[in-house]
Each structure stands twice: as structure tokens, then as C-alpha cells.
Amino acid sequence: MSIVVSNKQKIHYELAGDKGPWMLLHPPHLIPMSAWKEEGYVRQLEKDFRLVMIEPLGQGLSDAPEDSSHYTISSRIRHILDIMREVQADFAFFLEWVWVLRLDFKCPKNFPDESAH
């Protein structure tokens, strides 16, 4: 079990694969990190990538603070960057579930001030 402390919060992550570029697997809210394995993503991707499966704050073995300020986009980006620093990854591909990507692409349009941070 791997843990990184980011902004005083413990973030759980797991590694798979030992060759190729880094790829971060980030599940959406309420989808467990184990879904990446259960759906066969890890089995296929670990052949060509070094995988970092992240269990976001508030899920699974990661801390779940009640203060909503820990769940901002900036905080979540900090968690990801701290994990990348921990595994010594200078660059990584980023894979999320499709419906989350739709939200990501709409953020700049609907919340331009928030997306610039």
C-alpha cells in the first residue's frame, strides 16, 4: 500500500507495470480504484505503461476530511502532483472515465474564473 501526504492529507495510490511512460488512472467520485483492475484496464495498460492508480481524497483508504476546502480542483491537482513527485514521474498520461472528461471540458466554458487557477 502506497500513501503520499499532500496538504496534510493521506492519499492512497497503487502502482502497476514496470516499463514505458507513466499513466495516471483517476476514477470519478464514488467509483472505487479497484474498478480499473476489475474492468481489465490494468491488465492491458501495464504491458506498455507504468501505472499510478489514484484513490482520490474522500474515497477508499485515502483520508476523508469534512472541510470542503480540501476537495477543490486546486487541492486535487496538488495531490496528483505530489504523487507524481513521490514516484519520480516528470510526465504522465492521464486517464479518467469518459463522463468525467465531459465535465472537465465544460468547466472552462461554464466557470472561466475557476478554470484559470
- What would the pLDDT profile of 45-60 be if each residue is shown by its tens digit? 999 999 999 999 999 9
Residue 112 has a CB neighbour count (10 Å cut-off) of 9
Res 83: pLDDT = 95
d(Cα 21, Cα 43) in Å, to the nearest integer?
16
* Structural domains present in the chain: 2-115 (3.40.50.1820)
Predicted confidence band at 13 (pLDDT cuts at 50, 70, 90)?
A: very high
Q: What is the mean pLDDT of residues 16-20?
A: 96
Res 42: pLDDT = 95
**Residue 94: pLDDT over 50:** yes
d(Cα 91, Cα 21) in Å, to the nearest integer?
8
**Residue 103: pLDDT over 60:** no
**Residue 25: pLDDT over 50:** yes
- Is 26 in contact with 108 (CB distance < 8 Å)? no
Provide CB contacts within 8 A for 25, sequence distance 6+: 33, 36, 41, 42, 45, 51, 52, 53, 54, 95
Predicted confidence band at 117 (pLDDT cuts at 50, 70, 90)?
A: very low
- Conformational region of residue 58, where left means phi above 0, alpha means psi within -120 to 50, and beta covers everything else: left
Model pTM score: 0.79
Res 27: pLDDT = 86
